[in-house]
């Protein structure tokens, strides 16, 4: 069985047919980790012995005819920002290098309840706060398409684990593209769920974190197929029961039954949302292929002021995750009102030091954006747009995000702009599925965002599946093929 290509859905079917055992699968993944992880540095904690006991229990249960759920015996890994009972969870912090939670994050508990075998934790930037995956505790994770480049962040190692076949399925987090950017940079599939669909309790994003849902942030899957994304989301979805019995949620079905039945909008250009020509060319080719296949695609976008949306997004992001350093800068900035020339990202530090009145004003603005998106989705079932301005960027360990730049054609732009396309979607709480659509001339993957209506996650997932069937762009990195 080719673990570099096999999907979680295929593996569950093989487990159910008793073509492979959970213990055999687990051992095969551990062997791949031993071979490839020294090269890419994706897995930072391996819980092999406990996982083998759990896998053996899964195999014995199935011999008795006891099937635990949709992920029975499936070995999965989890981002090192999600609490795992009895398995080290650090948030990428040296201060918490030996931290071992006693309870699972709500999302992890749901994976286990479906029968999954959680056996590994994957790397991340400190407190999930960067567009590259590096921290002082574990070092940098390399992109398997180019080891000198980053896999994105903050769920970068989650994406690498999937791209390299080190795990059957991964679970990451996304507040500024932290699932979507890594999926795009490494050529895998990712889904940012509608905000509130998956409980965020147990997300260790700060020393006192894990107790409440973080504004804008969502938990979602990364995988080797859209079917796998749906498999995972089906288990993760549902409101937090606050310690009681699990509440369930029934998501609406996809809006159409065929590619031709969808009303698709495409938005590839905006003065405030740069896109490198190499990435734009891949995206445009993919859209043309969809049109040739009979898809109804129009150039359209929500009627929103992009810069105003971005300022609101960065303000709310700063309020949600702002550091003491950002707050100190923000307090100094509050003495002068924003100027028209101030970068939209400056709203982040203003948000970190904002008061409840300012936060309330930003929430009203967000509500207005969401209403416009709802009107837009009355006309169009999904929007196709870029994930990030560029393909994978070079790794710069130890260099702060605010000090880095990205090359967009012949222009050098602040690296923080990497999250702009994702931010305008995230601030509106919308679901977004990323699917690979091609490779640049320099050999780097490119993904596209499929943005759907709020709490209609099955629509962007289905559109992504149909795009995948037409474009057929998913590839295993050469490094993983060799293994």
The answer to whether 135 and 125 are in contact (CB under 8 A) is yes
The answer to whether 142 and 82 are in contact (CB under 8 A) is no
Q: Is residue 412 annotated as part of the catalytic site, yes or no?
A: no
Catalytic residue of the set 21, 178, 225, 432:
178
Residue 327: per-residue pLDDT? 58
The answer to whether 135 and 92 are in contact (CB under 8 A) is yes
Six-digit token string for 106: 């709500």
Ramachandran region, residue 243 (left: φ > 0; alpha: ψ -120 to 50; beta: rest): left
Buried b (16+ CB within 10 A) or exposed e, 267-287: bbebeebbbbebbbebbeebb
Residue 86: per-residue pLDDT? 98
Residue 341: per-residue pLDDT? 75
Q: Is residue 339 annotated as part of the catalytic site, yes or no?
A: no
- CA–centroid distance for 153 within its chain: 9
- Using CB atoms within 10 Å of the CB of residue 445, give its burial: 0 to 12 exposed, 13 to 18 middle, 19+ buried: buried
Six-digit token string for 265: 């909008």
List the domains of the chain with CATH numbers. 8-254+477-482 (3.90.1300.10)
Residue 129: per-residue pLDDT? 94
Give the residue among 370, 183, 385 at the shortest CA–CA distance from 297. Answer: 385
Q: How far apart are CA 444 and CA 463, in angstroms?
A: 23
Catalytic residue of the set 6, 21, 77, 154:
154
Residue 389: per-residue pLDDT? 98
Q: How far apart are CA 391 and CA 228, in angstroms?
A: 24
Residue 249: per-residue pLDDT? 85
Residue 335: per-residue pLDDT? 62
Six-digit token string for 155: 């769920």
The answer to whether 110 and 169 are in contact (CB under 8 A) is no
The string of DSSP letters for 244-282 reads: SSPP---PPPPS-SSGGG-EEEE---BTTB---HHHHHH
Q: How far apart are CA 80 and CA 77, in angstroms?
A: 9
Give the residue among 466, 473, 472 at the shortest CA–CA distance from 452. Answer: 466
Q: How far apart are CA 410 and CA 125, in angstroms?
A: 28
Compute the residue count for the chain.
483
The string of DSSP letters for 423-450 reads: HHHHTTT--EEEEEEEE-TTS-EEEEEE
The residues of the chain scoring below 70 in pLDDT are: 243-244, 323-335, 482-483
Residue 354: per-residue pLDDT? 81
Residue 275: per-residue pLDDT? 98
Catalytic residue of the set 21, 79, 112, 155:
79
Six-digit token string for 369: 């954006």
Q: Is residue 178 annotated as part of the catalytic site, yes or no?
A: yes
């Amino acid at each position: 069985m080719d673990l570099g290509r096999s999907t979680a859905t295929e593996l569950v079917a093989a487990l159910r047919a008793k073509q492979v055992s959970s213990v055999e699968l687990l051992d095969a993944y551990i062997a791949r980790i031993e071979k490839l992880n020294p090269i890419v540095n994706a897995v930072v904690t391996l819980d092999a012995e406990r996982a083998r006991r759990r896998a053996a229990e899964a195999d014995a249960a199935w011999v008795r005819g006891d099937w635990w759920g949709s992920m029975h015996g499936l070995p999965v890994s989890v981002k090192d920002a999600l609490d795992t009972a009895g398995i080290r969870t650090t948030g990428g912090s040296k201060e918490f290098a030996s931290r071992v939670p006693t309870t699972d994050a709500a999302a992890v508990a749901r994976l286990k309840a479906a029968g999954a075998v959680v056996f590994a934790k994957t790397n991340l930037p400190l407190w999930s706060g960067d567009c590259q995956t590096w921290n002082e505790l574990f070092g940098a994770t390399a992109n398997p398409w180019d080891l000198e480049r980053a896999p994105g962040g903050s769920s970068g190692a989650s994406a690498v684990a999937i791209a390299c076949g080190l795990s059957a399925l991964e679970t990451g987090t996304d507040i500024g593209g932290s699932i979507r950017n890594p999926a795009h940079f490494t050529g895998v599939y990712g889904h940012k769920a509608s905000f509130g669909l998956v409980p965020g309790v147990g997300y260790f994003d700060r020393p006192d974190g894990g107790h409440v849902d973080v504004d804008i942030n969502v938990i979602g899957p990364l995988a080797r197929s859209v079917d796998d994304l749906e498999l995972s989301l089906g288990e993760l979805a549902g409101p937090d029961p606050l310690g009681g019995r699990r509440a369930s949620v029934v998501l609406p079905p996809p809006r159409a039954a065929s590619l031709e039945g969808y009303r698709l909008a495409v938005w590839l250009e905006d003065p405030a949302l740069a896109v490198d020509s190499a990435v734009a060319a891949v995206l445009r080719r993919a859209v043309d292929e969809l049109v040739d296949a009979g898809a109804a695609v129009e150039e359209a976008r929500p009627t929103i002021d992009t810069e105003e949306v971005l300022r609101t997004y960065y303000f709310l992001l700063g309020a949600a995750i702002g550091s003491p350093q950002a707050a100190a800068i923000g307090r100094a900035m509050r003495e002068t009102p924003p100027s028209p020339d101030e970068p939209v990202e400056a709203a982040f530090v203003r948000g970190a030091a904002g008061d409840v009145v300012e936060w309330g004003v930003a929430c009203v603005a967000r509500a207005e954006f969401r209403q416009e998106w709802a009107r837009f989705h009355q006309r169009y079932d999904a929007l196709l747009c870029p994930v990030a301005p560029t393909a994978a960027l070079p790794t710069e360990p130890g260099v702060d995000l605010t000090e880095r730049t990205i090359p967009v054609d012949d222009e050098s732009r602040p690296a923080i702009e990497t999250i702009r396309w994702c931010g305008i979607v995230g601030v509106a709480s919308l679901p977004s599925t990323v699917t690979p659509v091609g490779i640049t001339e320099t050999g780097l993957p490119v993904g596209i965002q499929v943005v759907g209506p709020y709490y209609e996650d099955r629509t962007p997932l289905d559109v992504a599946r149909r795009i995948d069937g037409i474009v057929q762009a998913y590839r295993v990195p050469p490094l993983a093929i060799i293994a």
